[in-house]
Amino acid sequence: FDPRNSKLRETKPSASLEAAQLARDLRAQGRRVISLATGEPDFPTPDHIKQACIDALAANHTGYPPVPGIPALREAICEKFRNDNNLNYAPNEVIVANGVKQIIFNALAASLEPAQEVLIPVPGWVSYSEMVRLNGGVPVELPTRYEDNFRLRPEDLEAAITDKTRWLLLNNPSNPTGTIMSEQDIRALAEVLERHPHVMVLSDDIYEHIRYGDVPYFTIAQVSDAMKERTLTANGVSKSWCMTGWRIGFAAGPAALIEAMRVYQGQTTGGVMHPGQYGAVAALNGPRDFMDSNLAEFQKRRDLGVKLINETDGLECHVPDGAFYLFVKCADLIGATTPAGNVISTDADLTRYFVEEAEVVCVPGAAFGMSPFFRISFACKSEVLEEALLQIRAAIGKLE
């Protein structure tokens, strides 16, 4: 008995969530597996945010919340866009959902006609293509290049746009590469988009505050009022405020699109967990000094990870400017033979070998639309990262 419809039969499960589950399953069998698969900070949610949620519970803010978010949170989101991004939005131009994941899904569900195309630079986050397919659209992958540090070239964007293109998805900083597009990079893409006014842009800025050094931040809605009018800017508290389990994300965009997303959300999930929204208000309006110490810790791990990878024969990676991932090139290992006599033909073969031989779980590049690579997350303790990468190095040393 297969309960799946034709859409689900074509849908791949989230590779990063599956990899994280594999690590949990192997641990349950008593194996000491290290997971470098998880895309979430290992720091707890700051106390002042937890307290705001506890206070909201005590004050009985436990009824159904307004579908687009409580007014205080929508105000705080408008403030955030004003202060961080120099973008002015009114409360009816913002919406709150269960994570950026639901924001993106709802935006596509509310706007895509069957067979319309969505342009996705690759490597890109595992869920984009699947969400497009689930909503009857056609994902069109736009390959980038390792030599360009995975920046989308304007000419590649131009060549991919057709009459059927509905959306371009941008993710800055990028998961899995950590690349940050500069203002100049983004303006060059906007110049192409200006020639194609039927294309809307969804900018997934969830890693906005996870940047190393003094890399400035620019998001495409800042280019011009015309660009802002067809851009949905998604952001959230999951990564920067260490609130992945709260499931709160938000977006700002043209009122008509936000209204369409509100209608869709009202018929599917409704408003986001009520007391949690008070926590998000405290997050957005509260102090951010904890982010500096988290970032300093992430940066130490990043530098350790980059050094260990680039000192390992057959592996190579760039130094990412943002997010907490390394996207590691492993082309030199394709074709190698394991001690058991199996040939490593793909990056998925390699990550499987890492599980067996090194007891380390990573996500193959294929899941992000680019091979042969694999992604590691450095959102784990330095000692764990070092141990895992040394075990990977030892496993690679046994390949012939």
Binding site for ligand PLP (CB under 6 A): 39, 99-101, 125, 171, 175, 204, 206, 236, 238, 244, 249
Kindly state the tokens that stand for 298: 């992430």
In the complex, what is the shortest distance from the CB of residue 186 to ligand PLP, in angstroms, rounded to a whole number? 17
Using the minimum distance from each CB to ligand PLP, give the nearer residue, 185 or 204. 204
- Asked whether the beta carbons of 44 and 246 are under 8 A apart, the reply is no
| DSSP codes, 176-211 | TT-----HHHHHHHHHHHHT-TT-EEEEE-TTTT-B
Using the minimum distance from each CB to ligand PLP, give the nearer residue, 232 or 344. 232
In the complex, what is the shortest distance from the CB of residue 342 to ligand PLP, in angstroms, rounded to a whole number? 31
Amino acid occupying residue 288: R
What is the rounded distance in angstroms from the CA atom of residue 9 to the CA atom of residue 103? 23
Task: Report strand pairing: 231-236 vs 200-204.
Answer: parallel
Chain position whose Cβ is nearest to ligand PLP = 99
Question: Helix 127-134 crosses helix 99-111 at what angle (to 10 degrees)?
Answer: 40
In whole angstroms, how large is the CA radius of gyration of the chain? Answer: 21
In the complex, what is the shortest distance from the CB of residue 206 to ligand PLP, in angstroms, rounded to a whole number? 4
What is the rounded distance in angstroms from the CA atom of residue 191 to the CA atom of residue 127? 27
Displacement of CA 240 from its chain's centroid (Å): 12
In the complex, what is the shortest distance from the CB of residue 174 to ligand PLP, in angstroms, rounded to a whole number? 7
In the complex, what is the shortest distance from the CB of residue 233 to ligand PLP, in angstroms, rounded to a whole number? 13
In the complex, what is the shortest distance from the CB of residue 238 to ligand PLP, in angstroms, rounded to a whole number? 3
Using the minimum distance from each CB to ligand PLP, give the nearer residue, 344 or 380. 380
What is the rounded distance in angstroms from the CA atom of residue 130 to the CA atom of residue 133? 5
CA end-to-end span of the chain, whole Å?
A: 44
Among candidate residues 171, 167, 289, 184, the one with its CA nearest the CA of residue 235:
171
Angle at 303 between CA 302 and CA 309, to 5 degrees: 85
Using the minimum distance from each CB to ligand PLP, give the nearer residue, 249 or 276. 249
Say whether the peptide bond before residue 176 is cis (omega within 30 degrees of 0).
yes
Using the minimum distance from each CB to ligand PLP, give the nearer residue, 100 or 392. 100
Using the minimum distance from each CB to ligand PLP, give the nearer residue, 212 or 250. 250
In the complex, what is the shortest distance from the CB of residue 340 to ligand PLP, in angstroms, rounded to a whole number? 33
- Asked whether the beta carbons of 279 and 53 are under 8 A apart, the reply is yes
Using the minimum distance from each CB to ligand PLP, give the nearer residue, 106 or 238. 238
Using the minimum distance from each CB to ligand PLP, give the nearer residue, 204 or 347. 204
In the complex, what is the shortest distance from the CB of residue 300 to ligand PLP, in angstroms, rounded to a whole number? 22
